[in-house]
Amino acid sequence: MATAPNDMPKRKKARYSAEYRAEALALAERIGVAAAASELGLHAMQIYQWRAKAAHEKSVTDRERQLREANARLKRQLADKTEEVTILEKTAAYFAKKLD
């Protein structure tokens, strides 16, 4: 008698901490993915997925840093230009008064 797929016990998904993943990736970098996976009792595909996710997060982090720097630079420029406009407005008002 065959059992229905719903009757099969479900395997719990293993959860690994960020520190464990970082150490596993460092080990894979040193000795290779296949060797690290067998040493840690993981599938090599898991380490490849962790590596891809870490690379993506790093690129996102780098992009966010670049955007923050650009935002700060633009805010400084805006403040400078606003100050220049204020000075020019006051100067124009002064000379307009002198002409009257």
Q: List Cβ<8 Å contacts ≥24 apart for 8-15.
A: none
- Tokens 């293993």 correspond to 14
Please say if the pLDDT value at position 7 is more than 70: no
- Tokens 């998904």 correspond to 13
**DSSP three-state, residue 30:** helix
According to the model, what pLDDT value does residue 71 have?
97
- Tokens 């406009």 correspond to 85
High-pLDDT (> 70) share of the chain, %: 86
Provide the whole-model pTM: 0.54
Confidence band (pLDDT; 50, 70, 90) for 1? very low
Please say if the pLDDT value at position 82 is more than 90: yes
Distance CA 43, CA 27 (A): 14
73-94 mean pLDDT: 96
| Six-digit token string for 39 | 């040493």
Least confident of 6-10, 42-46, 80-84: 6-10
